[in-house]
A and B are shown apart, each in its own frame.
Chain A
Amino acid sequence: MSGYNAKLDAIPRKGMLDLRGDAEAVRLCGETLGCRFPEEANAKIAVSDHSALICLSDDHWIFETADGLQVEILQQLELAAADQFHSFCDVSDMYAHLVLSGPEAIEVLAQCVAIDIHPRVFGPGSTARCAFADTVAQVSCLDSSPAYEISVLSSYERYSIDWLLMAIGS
């Protein structure tokens, strides 16, 4: 054994929308999606079985859904918020998604991020946009096994994989 008991997998792209807007635009979008937008940075809520909303700041959210659904949802949201101050962008191709899992995944992740990832603080459902290696990532705790999803800019995908494999020690 020359590395941590953890493994790294790449997962397929997701449909992702970058949503920014004022309170009224957000309210209208919430009605369209059938949810109330989270208001605290790094809060993540499930919108449906296959979609979720992540709050990045008080006027900035990421909507995640299955790849392919984002185009139609974007149209619906644009329609809903047409008269409001907003900016909605399809950013599905901007991100690559990796899953780090295994009994020692937390030891590996602790090498890459400076945020507190102790299970008490960063348990399943938690997410944070943070410095990762020498770039930025959206890091989410998927379950207590533990497993973490790490979403990085697609241009950093290979670098991030190399970094994580180095951290695992394989």
Chain B
Amino acid sequence: MTEEFRNPSGGRIQRGCPISFQFNGRRYTGFLGDTLASALIANGVSVVGRSQKYHRPRGIMSAGLEETNAFVQLAGNDDEPNRLATTLPIHDGLVAHSVNATPNADFDVASLLGFFHRFIPAGFYYKTFMWPRDKWDWYGRRIRKIAGWGTAPAKPEGGRYEHRNHHCDVLVVGAGPAGLSAALGAGRSGARVLLVDSDSEAGGKLLSDNLTINSRPALEWLDNTLTELDLMPNVIRLSRATATGYFTDNYLTVLEECPDKPWVRERLWKVRAKRVILATGAIERTLLFANNDRPGIMLASAAMTYCLRYGTRPGNTAVVFTNNNSGYRHAIGLVKAGVAVTALIDTRKDADSKLRGDAADSGIEVIADARVISAKGRRRVSGVSISVGKDQSRRRIRCDLLAVSGGWNPAIHLYSQSGGKPIYSERIASFVPGESVQNERSVGACSGDLTLQSALAQGAEAGREASRLCGFTGADVATLDCEHEPDPCVDPVWDCSLPGSQSSAFIDFNNDVTSADIRLAMREGYRSVELVKRYTTAGMGIDQGKSSSVSIVGLIAEIADVEPGSVGTTTYRPAYTPVSFGAMAGPIKGRLIVPWRRTPMTDWFLDNGGHLDETGAQFRRPLFIAKANESASEAVQREGLAVRNQLGIYDSTPLGKIIIQGPDTVAFLNRVYSNNWDKLPVGRGKFGFMLYEDGRLLDDGVTMRISDTQYLMSNSAGMADVVLDHLERLLHIHWPDLKVYLTPVTDQWAVVCVCGPQSRRVLHDAGIDIDISGEAFKFLDTRLCTVAGLPARISRVTYTGELSFEVAVATRHGLTLWNALIAAGQKFDITPVGSDTSMLLRTEKGFIAAGLEGDGYADIYDVGMGWLVSEKKADFVGKRSLEKNRRSGGKRPEVVGLLPHDRNFVPPKGAPVVEYGDDQDEPRQMGMVTIGFYSPNLGGSIALAQLRDGRSCLGQTATIFTNAGVETASICEPVFIDPDGERMRG
């Protein structure tokens, strides 16, 4: 297809670099520098998509991020939905197609909905799809199908998404004249400047207008400025980089598309700036009249951009419709670009006489005090009907381009996100930034000052000031002279459509919201702009109301007969432009999503059938170590039998370890544990329970006194960080007078536990240089020694209820120790065991896990560990709450054992346990199962449970509800093996 709407010369495209691309199945040609939108305009494509609700044909409306119509789906390697054709540079092989059209944008079956638009206004869904109530999901799926916006990629995309942190002195957002001037002012001082711009080319409005600076073409100034900035080592300039969010502490996110590295698809910059200069420009708004969404109707500034920047003609015969002075400039500009402008419709009676004269000199008929009331044509505008003067005489004018200039909305989105409150400016009939809340300043058009002269001056001054505030001496930026630009003098007309018009005047193109919808919402009682927005969805589309939000406010004000300033704005929230999920997620995927901590034995487990899972503090440990063709259950049973009857070996490295030292250590332990620590001798350990302030269980563990001055506290693996935070908080906030230091040393030591009747013998065989007989080395003793030739600390502690020894060596020696013990244990058929097996064994023994039996509510008495509460101590953390719990009486959940009557039934964790009253009808919930296993050592299933007033129910029968049915069990003491502890003390 030829480029019939491409001018033979002009524009900033590279005509020597033709590019072939596909749109909606057809091949087209454009040039390097074209966006998809400009290339489609050059090729005469007017319908680029269908509207969301009514499936009306839509054309290109703008030339930038504010686009409301031209969303496209990319295919092939670019596979991505909802890309804006107006900001998407074309490249060879680009394949794009319209979204929301079936079968295609030219003929869309769903456009039949448009005939019923009067019956499906705003709120239609809420009122209609309420019956039957359970059918909403069914409706929802179908509505979503009709109103879809493209499809998510089915395959992983090429390239990767990257996150990058960046700090700078001055962040300048926007590389238009104000932003460039600010960057120059800051950059020359030596400050670290980051200049970001969403466009592929810096310059902003300089690229699409015939402006002059110091009587020279503004593009000369642009080239010189960019050259100077690019030579500054302290300035980083990013193109196609959109500041999408402005958060607290001057933290902003910038989404960079197509970064400097070809393998990076998108890069999300996380910028922390000392000062921020917002130079985000202003967005032209449209005007409301019937059928104002027809293809061929676009913003006047966009029409200029397509002419001057891309060398295209958005139409051959144009009408310009305006309510402000900038419409004149654009009309004259279009004529210079080769577009025949037959008429300029101005809503004002008394526009600037010079402007009118200039327009007339360009052959443009200026029709003042007139309004476009409707557009003609369907797939492309073919003309307009206008109403002129007080008598509202009608006239029709033919055209294939209607350029609309309804005034300018400063892009205050980032300012608003920074916490600032916009204020209404009658001068431009829009909202402008109020006071700065963070270290930020808005300059240029986004501050409401729309002239080039102001943009350059404000930018330079802001750049200098920002760098000065960062400690740099600002260099002078020469004052620049620009041609006079008249004040916009906006006539705030918000709706030009005739009352009772059968055709729609769209206020939010993105969500197909019409002025009639806003009026309906107001009639139905929605007065607040926030409620009108939510009821009608105006401003809630992908474009987030960039071009419509102020018009919505204006129309509400007009209907309510109040000032727009009193209506206020809706809240601008991040992201300013759509951000892909890939960019949000960044490069982290697969095994990097969650940090994986390893012990020296992790690889051994991976090589020997270990089934690893996270078991706390980001450590992944084997749940069990399966042999070939062995199920998980079989492996756990085998390992459990081995520990009770022979020898098991377990990796205890993840258990938390904290060195506690200082003259007040004993006082500290007495305060954090419920039991008494006054008389712990060196070389001995003690079991303790730690409570929260409200008496709930925090953690349990053994603390050893390893020297006169040092104690070694061990914590559950999953609670190690929590306990350390808890203890540090107590020391720093509550007890700063205590002289105690805490040093976490978990990673310093690899810990191997040998457990079972043969554990003493395996240590002898591996080689140990101290006497570990039952008499010389008692339960809870600890000693320094040498094991297998390695310097070690050995401790007699157990989590299984078996004779156990924990051997700790420096991490570098961990695997050596493990292998030595495995080798020495071969004659005892040593069995590596995992944490699931450990759970089985502790359940058999009735050992409490604070994280399971302590379900977040239980206190130390509830889990049967009240014997660990010292009555002598004046205080400890949680004491007051414990006493309150006891005083308040009532029946509390208590830990008991369950022996299912069906010995093969394993009560599942969390299963409710109930009892029946005398009437046998209504079950009363007693509590729940906290853990259950089939015990190979007992030849039947066992469980622990938390039951209300459980201790008083010993010997009774409980009923356990499961998904599979109902089972019964006897309530018993929660210790199933070795109740006297002979094995572990042996």
Question: Is A120 an interface position by the 8 A CB rule?
Answer: yes
Check if A155 sits within 8 Å of B747, measured CB to CB: yes
Which of A33-41, A92-100, A142-150 lies at the binding interface? A92-100
Taking a contact as CB atoms under 8 Å apart, the answer to whether A134 and B263 are in contact is no
Q: Establish whether residues B741 and A86, one from each chain, have CB atoms under 8 Å apart when the complex forms.
A: yes
CB pair A134 B595 closer than 8 Å: yes
Query: What residues of chain A lie closer than 8 Å to B263, measured between beta carbons?
Result: 2-3, 169
Closest to B596 in A: A159
A97 to B919, CA, bound (A): 70
Residue of B nearest to A120 (CB): B192
- In the assembled complex, the CB of A60 is this many whole angstroms from the nearest CB of chain B, namely 9
Query: Is there an interface contact between A94 and B748, defined as CB atoms closer than 8 Å?
Result: yes
- B661 near A: Cβ within 8 Å? yes
How many Å lie between the Cα of A92 and that of B747 in the bound state?
Answer: 10
Residues B747 and A159 in contact, CB atoms below 8 Å apart: no
Does A155 contact B599, Cβ atoms closer than 8 Å? Answer: yes
> Complex: how many Å from CA A133 to CA B270?
14
Within 8 A of A (CB), among B97-113: none
**Which residues of chain A are within 8 angstroms of B594 by Cβ–Cβ distance?**
134
Name the CB-closest residue of A to B810: A93
Kindly state the separation between the CA atoms of A159 and B64 in the bound complex, as whole angstroms. Answer: 42
Considering the chains assembled together, what is the distance between the CA atoms of A95 and B747 in angstroms? 8
A116 to B164, CA, bound (A): 11
Instruction: Report which of A89, A113, A156, A169 forms a contact with B745, defined as CB distance below 8 A.
Output: A89
CB proximity of A30 to chain B, nearest CB, Å: 18
The docked-state distance in angstroms from the alpha carbon of A90 to that of B739 is 20
**Measured between alpha carbons, how far is A115 from B592 in the docked complex, in Å?**
21
Partner of B592, one of A89, A153, A162: A162
Q: Is the CB of B164 within 8 A of A87?
A: no
B629 CB–A CB distance under 8 Å: no
Q: Give which listed residue, B163, B165, B192, B811, contacts A154 with CB less than 8 A.
A: B811
Q: Which residues of B contact A157 (CB under 8 A)?
A: 598
In the complex, the answer to whether A89 meets B167 with C-beta atoms within 8 Å is: no
Cβ of B599: which chain A residues have Cβ within 8 Å of it? Answer: 155
B810 touches A111 (CB 8 A): no
A112-170 interface with B by 8 A CB criterion: 113-116, 118, 120-121, 133-135, 153-159, 162-163, 166-167, 169
**How near does chain A come to B279, taking the closest CB pair, in angstroms?**
23
Q: Does A44 sit at the interface, judged by CB under 8 A?
A: no
Which of A18, A91, A114, A155 touches B270 (beta carbons < 8 Å)? A114
Q: Are B163 and A87 in contact, CB atoms less than 8 angstroms apart? A: no
Contact with B along A3-45 (1 / 0, CB 8 A): 1100000000100001011100000000000000000000000
Tell me whether B167 and A155 are in contact (CB under 8 A): no
Contact A93 B811, beta carbon cutoff 8 Å:
yes
Contact (Cβ within 8 A) A91 B745:
yes
A87 to B707 alpha-carbon distance, docked (Å):
12
- What number of B residues sit within 8 Å (CB to CB) of A? 40
Q: Residue on A with the closest CB to B160?
A: A169
B810 touches A92 (CB 8 A): yes
Chain A residues within 8 Å of B167, by CB: 115-116, 118, 121
Known: A110-B165, A113-B165. A154 touches B747 (CB 8 A): yes
- Shortest C-beta distance, B560 to chain A (Å), equals 47
Q: Which residues of A contact B734 (CB under 8 A)?
A: none
Q: How far is the CA of A86 from the CA of B660 in the complex (A)?
A: 10
What separation, in Å, do the CA atoms of A37 and B810 have in the docked complex? 28
Which residues from A are CB-within-8-Å of B745? Answer: 89, 91, 94
- Mark contacts of A39-59 with chain B using CB atoms, 8 A cut-off: 1 yes-contact digit, 0 otherwise: 000000000000000000000
Interfacial chain A residues near B363, Cβ < 8 Å: none
- B284 on the interface (CB 8 Å rule)? no
Report the minimum CB–CB distance from B468 to chain A (whole Å): 18
Q: Does B121 contact A (CB under 8 A)?
A: no
Cβ of B899 to closest chain A Cβ, rounded Å: 40
Docked-complex contact B592 and A166, CB < 8 angstroms: yes
Q: Are A87 and B659 in contact (CB under 8 A)?
A: yes
**Distance in angstroms between the alpha carbons of A21 and B743 in the assembled complex:** 12
Chain B residues near A163: list those with CB within 8 A. 592
A121 to B167, CA, bound (A): 10
Please, which residue of chain A has its CB at the minimum distance from the CB of B167? A116
Please judge, given known A-B contacts A3-B263, A92-B810, A121-B167, whether A87 and B662 are in contact too, CB under 8 Å.
yes
Instruction: Answer whether A158 and B596 are a contact pair too, CB < 8 Å, given A89-B659, A93-B811, A114-B270.
Output: yes
B591 within 8 A of A: yes
CB contacts (< 8 Å) of B811 on chain A: these are 93-94, 154
CB distance from A153 to the nearest CB of B (A): 5
The chain A residue with its CB closest to the CB of B599 is A155
The complex places the Cα of A84 from the Cα of B624 at a distance, in Å, of: 47
Besides A93-B747, A107-B164, 14 more A-B contacts (Cβ < 8 Å) are: A18-B743, A21-B741, A87-B743, A93-B812, A115-B167, A120-B192, A133-B595, A135-B595, A153-B747, A155-B597, A156-B595, A158-B596, A159-B592, A167-B587
Please name 20 pairs of A and B residues whose Cβ atoms are closer than 8 Å in the assembled complex, sorted by A: A3-B263, A13-B812, A87-B659, A87-B662, A89-B659, A93-B749, A93-B810, A93-B812, A94-B746, A95-B747, A110-B166, A111-B164, A114-B272, A121-B167, A134-B594, A135-B595, A155-B747, A157-B598, A158-B596, A159-B598
Chain A interface (Cβ within 8 Å of chain B)?
Answer: 2-4, 13, 18, 20-22, 85-87, 89-95, 107, 110-111, 113-116, 118, 120-121, 133-135, 153-159, 162-163, 166-167, 169
Which 7 pairs from chain A and chain B are nearest by CB?
A: A87-B741, A116-B167, A87-B661, A93-B811, A155-B597, A94-B747, A93-B810
